[in-house]
Amino acid sequence: MTDHVEFRDFQPSDVTRIDFGEPGSLEDLGGPPDDAAAEPGIPDPIIIVATWRGDIVGYISSWLAQVHRTRRFFDVQVAPRSQGRRIATRLVAQLKARSDRPLAARAVEGSDSAGFLRGLGARPYAWCPPMELPRRQFGRAIEILGGHRDVIPASSLSPGEPEHLWMQFYRWTHQDWSPVYDSDQAREALRAEAGELDLDRTAIALVDGQPGAAAFVFDDPGAPTVCAETLAPEVPDGDDALARAVCQVVRDARDNGVRKLAFDGREQDPHFGPLAQRLPFEGSRMLLLEL
């Protein structure tokens, strides 16, 4: 079978012929391009299908994020009946030959997906620790964090300031490994994210009377998501400021009957990384891999 597999670009009508993976997401990717967000000469997205005797047996989809464009993210799927025939490997090779930048994907450490990607030569460029904090661990986390003095809710700030702090935080925490793309679309995407913040739950720790660290809270389905770090690379007593902000979020979650909190960050983050090692997080370690 492997020798007779053919590869071609995805066509919108292919959606009705694919009975594995998530073909609906291909239809969304394959829609009319957003010319305002596209880079001149850069195809976005790229979708390639593998066919055998007229049947689609695999596909790979790839896209550039609005905010981060140093890598091309991808997802590869192979029909269960056709697995074990190196179709996924060949699809990745097809995409790699057409990409002008590194490929990137997420995978749980130790999973089949991580093993497959590492087998292709992919290497981690970021590590995300287990970051689910269940309710039964809230009390222990509060003891570790130690206090929430000089912490205010983001809703008490002047209009527009929470948005500014979110964009400031996001830019500096990504600048060394996945910089924010310099475009109006990227800036608008970050503003849109800021609009989804739960300002009453987001905690701002003050340092000398000014915002020094934040635990931004998004009211996501299943569990609130928390993004926490100092608001600039150099903040006096930044570890303490971050711990105070996170402590307030955990206290608030406990008092409001929240069942769990999901944190989003990296082991390499200068203040959140060490803090994460101290907290009783549960779950799997996530890898961001580059090929």
Digit-coded pLDDT (tens) for 175-234: 999 999 999 999 999 999 999 999 999 999 999 999 999 999 999 999 999 999 999 999
Q: How far is CA 187 from the centre of its chain?
A: 17
Predicted local distance difference test score (pLDDT) of residue 41: 57
pLDDT of residue 28: 72
CATH number at residue 61: 3.40.630.30
pLDDT of residue 282: 96
**Six token digits for residue 9:** 């670009």
User: Is 191 a domain residue?
Assistant: yes
Per-residue pLDDT at 27: 72
Q: Residue 124: inside a domain, yes or no?
A: no
Q: Do 152 and 247 fall into the same domain?
A: yes
User: For residue 135, what pLDDT is reported?
Assistant: 98
The residue from 101, 120, 144 where one domain ends is: 101
Residues of the chain with pLDDT under 50: 32-33, 35-36
- My answer on whether 147 and 238 are in the same domain is yes
Residues 6+ apart with CB under 8 A from 24: 15
Question: Within this chain, do residues 154 and 279 fall inside the same structural domain, yes or no?
Answer: yes
Give yes or no: residues 190 and 266 share one domain: yes
pLDDT of residue 36: 45
Residue 57 lies in a domain: yes
Q: Examine residue 95 and state whether it is found in any structural domain, yes or no.
A: yes
- Domain shared by 154 and 194, yes or no: yes
* Residue range of the domain that includes 149: 132-283
Q: How far apart are CA 123 and CA 125, in angstroms?
A: 6
pLDDT in tens, 30-42: 654 454 455 655 6
Please give the tally of structural domains in the chain: 2
Q: Which residues pair with 230 in a beta bridge?
A: 213
Same domain, 204 and 257: yes
Q: Are strands 260-263 and 225-230 parallel, antiparallel or unpaired?
A: parallel
CA distance 168 to 171: 5
Nearest to 149 by CA among 241, 225, 218: 241
How far apart are alpha carbons 130 and 216 in whole angstroms? 18
| pLDDT value for 274 | 96
Q: What is the pTM of this model?
A: 0.90
Q: Which of 179, 160, 168 is nearest to 214 (CA)?
A: 168
| 40 within domain boundaries | yes
